[in-house]
């Protein structure tokens, strides 16, 4: 029986990238310069950049509602459009908003007959948060668009709680789903990717 594997065909693959840094380094500025971008602005970082966004053919959705984010991505997946890039600025706020959504849901049922079903904020809570977040990530990766996510920076600790470096302040493991993950830094040489 011949092998099922085939010779690969060249494809125009879109960029799937995450950029993280401390505040004020230029994550938003870098992200909004991508052509024909749909920018999901979760902390009003685009407020002073209307001209840049217009010049690059972009549009902005201001929201902190994870369901609105999911609906916008679904529209980009299913409707015909000319946009080439989707930006979530920052994904840190999206992850926090998903946690807040499920905290409200679990708190609502904490003192009712559903309390035994939902129990505490342990495994079931985190399973819902992760499921919601990962569904959005899968939708983003399925888009035939460049995907640019910005994230706040956090310290990363290793054995013995020793600081070992920096990472993105989003869900653990995010760095594995993107083609490129960059830390944006400012030093004596200026702004650069690390």
For residue range 120-145, list pLDDT tens digits in order.
556 777 788 888 999 999 999 999 99
CA-CA distances (angstroms) from residue 164 to 2, 87, 96, 104, 154?
49, 29, 24, 34, 11
Name 9's bridge partners.
none
Tens digits of residue pLDDT in 7-35 = 888 877 889 999 988 888 888 988 999 99
Backbone angles phi, psi at 76, to 5 degrees: -65, -30
Residues 170 and 27: beta-carbon distance below 8 Å: no
Helix, strand, coil percentages (3-state) for the chain, rounded to 5, are: 40, 25, 35
Rounded mean pLDDT of 65-74?
96
Q: Which helix (H) or strand (E) element contains residue 185?
A: strand 180-187
> Full-prediction pTM beyond 0.85?
no
How confident is residue 102, by pLDDT bands cut at 50, 70 and 90?
Answer: confident
How confident is residue 192, by pLDDT bands cut at 50, 70 and 90?
Answer: low
Of the candidate ranges 30-44, 62-76, 176-190, the one whose mean pLDDT is the lowest? 176-190
């Amino acid at each position: 029986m011949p092998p099922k594997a085939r010779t690969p065909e060249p494809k125009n693959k879109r960029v799937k990238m995450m950029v993280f840094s401390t505040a004020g380094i230029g994550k938003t500025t870098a992200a909004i310069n991508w052509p024909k971008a749909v920018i999901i602005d979760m902390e009003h970082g685009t407020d002073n950049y209307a001209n840049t966004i217009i010049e690059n053919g972009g549009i902005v959705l201001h929201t902190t509602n994870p369901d609105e984010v999911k609906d916008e991505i679904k529209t980009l997946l299913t409707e015909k459009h000319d946009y080439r890039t989707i930006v979530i600025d920052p994904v840190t706020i999206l992850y926090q908003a998903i946690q807040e959504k499920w905290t409200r849901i679990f708190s609502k049922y904490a003192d009712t007959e559903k309390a035994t079903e939902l129990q505490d904020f342990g495994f079931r809570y985190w399973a819902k948060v992760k499921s919601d977040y990962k569904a959005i990530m899968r939708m983003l990766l399925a888009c035939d668009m460049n995907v640019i996510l910005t994230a706040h920076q956090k310290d990363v600790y290793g054995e013995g709680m020793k600081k070992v470096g920096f990472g993105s302040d989003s869900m653990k493991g995010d760095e594995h789903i993107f083609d490129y993950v960059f830390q944006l830094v400012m030093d004596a040489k200026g702004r650069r990717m690390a």
